[in-house]
Structure 1
Amino acid sequence: MRPDLCLRNAGRRYGLRGPWVLRGVDLAVGPGRLVRVEGANGSGKSTLLRLLAGIDAPSEGRITGRPARTAYVPERFPPALPFTAVGYLTHLGAVQGLSRAAAARAAREWLERLGAAAYAETPMARLSKGSSQKVAVAQALLAQPGLLVLDEAWTGLDTTARAELERAVAERTAAGGSVVFVDHDPRRLAGLSDATYAVRDGGVVRQEPSQTAAAPGPHVVVETQGPPDGRLPEEVRRTVSSAEETGPGAHRLSVPAPHSDVVLRALLTARPPWHVVSVAPQATAR
């Protein structure tokens, strides 16, 4: 397993004598973790995310353990680029180490998932703000990054694309990737974060669960049956909120609703596959 991504006494300022935006930051993000970052406008949230993603280098301190494949969705994405949507994504996929054929396939798959397949051949400069944002999200997910950094990435997306991005976050963490995100909506991935950090007064402070306003989101209960001596697939164990063994090979899983697709896919594609007995909202599950 890869090491944690760590910031040690990290600081960032712009210019040799500019004011410090962040200073003395210590933070660790482990594999498979989902981390939320909060803070007022102008507090330094985006600066912290840019340090984590490697877009900016720290002015002091150090960063270690960054995965080889790191992806970043900025708050503002430059749409006026001399490519079509699929051409741009194919180019970036090749830059990230995919073959041209694999990059082209991944580009079209993500455009389809995000509801932008109709705009694949449209020049980037002619895309609407919402379609440009879908391309921004797609470019970050092409090569299955070990670290995904999202700065207000849901802004401008329609309902379908927002839900698809939430599923993609679940897929990344279930596969052992790390995800760090900022979003203005406190209900975004509510109750699912492994840690929440607040940026204020140039520092970063870990929030205790009681300090976070967002309540846990809706869950579903999945009853599943595997081999008598079977161990739940790793992707499932990383994603569920709880797992209760109810008999030989039988489990009752409490799953965040946005992540249920990931859990069901992992169960059904396991070797040997697990039988899904039932799926029900947690409030009505028996």
Structure 2
Amino acid sequence: MRLDGVGRRYGVRGPWVLRNVSLDLPRRSLVRVEGHNGSGKSTLLRLLAGIDAPSTGRITGRPRTAYVPERFPAALPFTAVGYLTHLGRVHGLRGRTAARRATEWLDRFGAAGHARTPLAELSKGTSQKVAVTQALLAEPDLLVLDEAWTGLDPAARETLDRAVAERVAAGGTVVFVDHDPRRLEGAADARYRVTGDRLDRLPDGAEPGPAETGGLHSPRVIIEAVAPPGATAADLPGRPSATPGPDGTTVRLTVAAAHSDALLRALLAAHPPWHIRTVTPAPPPDENR
């Protein structure tokens, strides 16, 4: 998908929230959007998701898209599984397939016991699990997440991390905003910051800005493997860093823990497959350096 000279303002004479935004979103990529509260991040995500139309410029090549909004409208006349089945059918799934996938995703997020609970009676955390599930069950080509981790318990946050990795590994594009600067740390293919009415790409390795500080370092995993002839680490899920292994015959791949499962699947599914030697947690970073 591509944005060319896109701008957005609310009202004919309203101030510009975004202006002259040009952006390419290639397949199989993870994109993080940063910025202060009120900077226009949510407006950008709504444009990407097709919820809002640009006031100027154009958006082309929009793929099949799913969106998790910052606020989920939980007071709807459905049970959790009824709502998810309905949304699955809107996305083009058959009713039975939608219901099956809804049940499977609720189970992954630890919310299977609330499948028949009316949405209005769900806790904030369980409502957020439903909001995330509705976006994942149709396996979208573009997944747009606006603070989707907020309100989730630690186990559900890890599940969402892994779901993001799975979407990217499957060839999808994920664009996300999150208040934790270490969310999916090291895995993003590109980072952008909304400042004023502009969208600027951040250089690789740029530190989080003042509004994004204070998060925790995300855990990382080291996979030592023997690469098949001609194979490289390029285009592997999670953008792992690759260094020679200690024995000289292996490659040491270091990746965010959230992407380790997707990376392992990709290594084992390659033709010919990589030979996995060890999988170990990476040592924590030295905070004093």
**Mapping of 1:1-286 within 5 angstroms?**
5-67=1-63, 69-213=64-208, 217-225=218-226, 229=229, 231=231, 237-243=236-242, 251-268=251-268, 275-283=275-283
Q: Partner of 2:129: helix, strand, or coil?
A: helix
Q: How far did residue 97 of structure 1 move? A: 1.1
Q: List per-residue Cα deviations over 1:207-244 (Å, max 9, x = no partner).
A: 12343237974432212357x5485799x723341346
Percent identity, aligned pairs only, is: 63
TM-score normalised over the length of structure 2: 0.87
1:74, distance to aligned residue in structure 2 (A) = 0.4
Indicate the larger mover: 157-166 or 257-266: 257-266
Q: Is the 8 A contact 2:35 2:193 kept in 1?
A: yes
* Alpha carbons of structure 1 residues 281 and 159: separation in structure 2 relative to 1, 3 Å: same
* Count of aligned pairs between the two proteins: 277
d(CA) in 1 for partners of 2:122, 2:94:
26
Which deviates more, 94-103 or 154-163? 94-103
Tell me whether 108-117 or 214-223 shows the greater mean CA deviation: 214-223
Point out the more displaced range, 55-64 or 211-220.
211-220
State the 1:277 CA deviation. 2.2
Gaps of 5+ in 1: none
Q: Cα gap change, 1:241/1:271 in structure 2, threshold over 3 Å: closer, same or farther?
A: closer
Residue 262 of structure 1 deviates from its aligned partner by: 1.5
Residues 114-173 of structure 1: CA distance to partner in whole angstroms, max 9, x if unpaired?
111010010111111111000000000011111111111111000011010000111111
Give structure 2 stretches of 5+ with no counterpart.
Answer: 285-289
Amino acid aligned to 1:276: I
Which digits, 9 at most, give the CA deviation of each residue in 1:177-227, with x for residues without a partner?
A: 11111111112112221111111111111112343237974432212357x
Q: Which SS does the other structure have where 1:211 is aligned?
A: coil
Q: Say if 1:190 and 1:229 are closer, same or farther in 2 by CA, change over 3 A.
A: closer
Return closer, same or farther for 1:174/1:200 CA change in 2, 3 Å cut-off. Answer: same
Judge conservation of contact 2:187–2:239 (CA < 8 Å) in 1.
no
Distance 1:85 1:127 in 2: 9
Q: Following TM superposition, by how much is the alpha carbon of 1:268 offset from its aligned partner in structure 2, in angstroms?
A: 4.4
Would the aligned equivalents of 1:233 and 1:266 in 2 still touch at CA under 8 Å? no
Counterpart residue type for residue 10 of structure 1: V
User: For residues 184 and 254 of structure 2, what CA distance do their matches in structure 1 show?
Assistant: 16
What is the RMSD computed on CA atoms of the aligned residues?
2.5
